[in-house]
Each structure stands twice: as structure tokens, then as C-alpha cells.
Amino acid sequence: MEPVYIKTYKNGLLQEKIKKAQKILKFCTLCPRHCKINRYSRERGICKTGIFAQVSSYQPHFGEEHVLVGSGGSGTIFFTNCNLLCNFCQNYDISHLGYGEEMTDEQVSNLMLLLQNKGCHNINFVTPSHVVPQILTALNLAIKKGLNIPLVYNTSSYDKVSTLKLLDGVIDIYMPDFKFMDKAKSELTMNAPDYPDVAKNAVKEMFRQVGDLVIDEDGIAERGLLVRHLVMPGDLDGTRQILKFIASEISLNTYVNIMPQYRPAGRARDIKQFSLPLSGVEYENALNIAREEGFVRLDKPWYIRKY
């Protein structure tokens, strides 16, 4: 299956998307934070990112979902900073402290080609919501150099529908992490009480664009939606509510990764109920909830024994 962005590039629509995206940066409303600052100047909003993206690391990643990893790994590009800033972030040094290096669009495009040449099955943009214009511009350059593997949009789900529409015909695989269904907990941990509503609308738009996950004969994802859900201690995140939403308003055929790796990282210990690690029983309960709700396409991370 040819990556969808090839056709968008050939018919000239990619250039139009780039122009629209770059224009937003002059009065930034790219994400739900609506900082309204000029990112071409020295002004910085919540994401602390200007006109150039910052990258903390890039590598063939073998710890992602099985359908992304295969034999060659998922070509991850970890973008520095974040528009959501969860206080429990397990990449706190990257998202909050800004560990990384500023890169031009040309340099980001070269990373894509480097990862493709290493044999990666896809280019996996990690925390991309605040750098969509930069991704589009870098992609345009990478296509000219021969990029031809699927693109993965690996996000917290704190994405505006209007921004996601700029990615229609660009992103092959959407991989949102649906975190909370409770507005109070979203405000407490992310200063984003609107997160549940934003995430619902974002995931709906992602599914509209790409549909259920399509996997090739070798077990590698080609196109579609893959939803992550990080299980938290004490069911703080409302696992059943989130899965009911996906089952009723997205698709029961959704490929879902119930993730067990929560730990009280970052500033999580500052809030009592978030200061405990996740137990094995709690993770198993979350898996059972997914099965009870009718999901059959469940990813099993490499570091978890088979159930």
C-alpha cells in the first residue's frame, strides 16, 4: 500500500496544507491551548517552541506496538516539549524540561530518510501536536528525497480537529493515547479540564480519516487507527468509560493497546492518588474490561507475559 501522502504531494495539496499551517504560527492556535503568540518571533507559548522543531532523539524503536515494530523497528522521532504537559509524564525531561536540539526542517527531513534507510517500517512522530507545520514542511522535503514508508502520528489526543484536518491525506496511522474521561482529574494533572471532550473529537476525526487499522500479511500496520490507553492505579483514568466510548462511537474493531507502564514519574508524587505504581492485578482488570466491552484486537507489549 502506497503511503497516502504520496498522492497528496503529487496533486499539489501538500503545499497548500503547508501554507495554511505556517500561517497559524503567526498567531498560534494550532492546539487547544490557543496561546495566540507569534512563533516566528521570540514569543513562546505553553509548548515553548518557536519556528523550528526541537528533537530529543531518533532511532529504530523496538518497544512500540508489535504491528509497528516488525523486524526493522518503528522509526521514532521524539519531539521536545509538549502542548499538554501531564504532571506524571514518563518523558518529563523531554516534555517539561526541554531536553533536545533545535532542528531545521531540512534536518528533520534527513532524519526521516535516515530511519527509512535503517530499515524501519514507518516514521513515528512522537508528541507532534505542537509541530504540525514543521512536520509538513519536512515531509515535503523528504518525499523529494525518496521517503515512501507510512507516517505515524503518536499523540496525547490533545489535538484540534481543524489542525488534524490539515493532516488528512498525510498521516497513514494515527496513534492517540486516550488518557482521561474525568474533567477534574484532567485539570488536576494537565491543567486541561477540556481534555476529555477534545480527545473524543480528535479520535473521531482521526478515525474518519483513516478507519480501522489495516495490517499486511507480514503483520505490519499500513493504515488506520490504533488507540493507546495508559492504565493508572485506582482506575483514576476511567478505563471502562474510555473503552465504552471507543466501542460505541468509534469502532469495536479498533486496535487497542492497554498499557501497563504507569509509574509515579515527573511530579506525580505531588498528588497522593497518583503517587502509587500500577499493580499487576489492576492491569489484568483493565484487560478484562476491554474484553468485556467486546474488543478483540488487543496489543500485547513485548515486556508483558502472555495472558
Nearest-CA neighbor of 31 among 245, 185, 225, 195?
Answer: 195
Instruction: Supply the angle between the helices 132-144 and 105-117 in degrees, to the nearest 10.
Output: 60
What pTM was computed for the model? 0.96
pLDDT tens digits, residue range 216-242?
999 999 999 999 999 999 999 999 999
Nearest to 235 by CA among 265, 184, 278, 288: 278
Residue 247 placed within a domain: yes
In the chain, how many domains are there? 1
**What percent of the chain lies above the pLDDT cut of 70?**
98
Residue 34: predicted pLDDT: 98
235 assigned to some structural domain? yes
Q: Which domain holds residue 177?
A: 4-292
Among 32, 117, 34, smallest CA distance to 72 is for 117
Q: Are strands 74-79 and 54-61 parallel, antiparallel or unpaired?
A: antiparallel
> Quick one: which of 257, 88, 66, 54 has its CA closest to 189?
88
Residue 299 lies in a domain: no
pLDDT of residue 169: 98
Question: What is the helix (H) or strand (E) element at residue 284, kind and residue range?
Answer: helix 280-292
**What tens digit of pLDDT does each residue of 261-286 get?**
999 999 999 999 999 999 999 999 99
Model pLDDT for residues 54-96, shown as the tens digit of each residue: 999 999 999 999 999 999 999 999 999 999 999 999 999 999 9
Residue 252 lies in a domain: yes
More reliable by pLDDT, 199 or 303: 199
Is 15 inside any structural domain? yes
Averaged pLDDT for residues 141-162: 98
DSSP state of 298: B
Residues of the chain above pLDDT 90, percent: 96
Residue 29 has pLDDT above 70, yes or no: yes
In a domain, 125, yes or no: yes
Quote the pLDDT of residue 178: 98
Model pLDDT, residue 42: 86
Is pLDDT of 306 > 50?
no
Residues 193-216 have a mean pLDDT of: 98
Q: What mean pLDDT value characterizes the chain?
A: 96
Domain for residue 105, yes or no? yes
pLDDT of residue 305: 37
pLDDT at 23 over 90: yes
Q: What is the pLDDT of residue 300?
A: 75
Band of the pLDDT at 111, cuts 50, 70, 90? Answer: very high
pLDDT at 301 over 90: no
DSSP helix/strand/coil, 173: strand
C-alpha cell at position 36: 495566540
Domain assignment present for 302? no
Provide CB contacts within 8 A for 245, sequence distance 6+: 178, 181, 200
pLDDT score recorded for residue 307: 34
**CATH code for the domain of 233:** 3.20.20.70
